[in-house]
Amino acid sequence: MKIVSNTSPIIFLSKLRILDLVQKQYKKILIPEAVFKELTYDDKYIENIEYVRSFHDLFQIEKSINADKFDFELHKGEKEAIVLAIENRAELIFLDDYSARMIARIYKIKVLGTLGILIQFLKGNMINYNKFEKLLQKLISDKFRIDIELYNYILNYAKQFKK
């Protein structure tokens, strides 16, 4: 399965220190050059740079050939990730931004965000409910934006996997 990711999910998953689970579940993730640069050279993410770099085998960096041909009004990394997914006929893309998610869906690309990835780990018994809840709290403390309705929905949904 070909998977592409934007910066945001990788940043949040790296802040949670669970890229090992990402690698176990997804094996290899395509990322555009813009995302790689943001992940490994942007001072905003300085505390995660070495951790992300330690998972170099997880990421396959590719240049999006046709990014300039698409007129999406998105951040450069999101745009390049969507175009890379289109070019590679990816089955899945990791995106958190609402507008980017809507555009990916127009192109019939399945979308998972940070929360969806955590739910997949829970459903696959890679983490238990208590760990899920702690990771969700850590996301929020790390400035992951989530409204109260979605927060409550996710927690209630996750409870069905509680053992």
Q: Tell me if 127 is assigned to some domain.
A: no
Q: Give CA separation, 121 vs 39, 115, 117, in Å.
A: 23, 10, 6
What are the pLDDT digits (tens) for 99-112? 999 999 999 999 99
Q: What gap in Å lies between CA 13 and CA 151, rounded to an integer? A: 17
Max Cα distance, the chain (Å): 49
φ/ψ (deg, to 5) at 60: -115, 115
Q: Report the CATH number at residue 109.
A: 3.40.50.1010
Q: Tell me if 158 is assigned to some domain.
A: no
> How, if at all, do strands 110-112 and 92-94 pair?
parallel
φ/ψ (deg, to 5) at 9: -60, -40
Total number of domains in the chain = 1
Q: Identify the domain containing residue 93 by its residue range.
A: 3-114
pLDDT at 63: 84
Q: How many CB atoms lie within 10 A of CB 67?
A: 19
> For all residues of the chain together, what is the average pLDDT?
92
Q: Tell me if 135 is assigned to some domain.
A: no
Q: Tell me if 163 is assigned to some domain.
A: no
Mean of the pLDDT values across residues 132-140? 96
Fill in the DSSP letter of residue 151.
Answer: H
What are the pLDDT digits (tens) for 36-86? 888 888 777 778 888 998 999 999 999 877 767 777 788 888 889 999 999
Using a 10 angstrom Cβ sphere, with 0-12 exposed, 13-18 middle and 19 or more buried, the burial of residue 30 is buried
What are the pLDDT digits (tens) for 9-37? 999 999 999 999 999 999 999 999 888 88
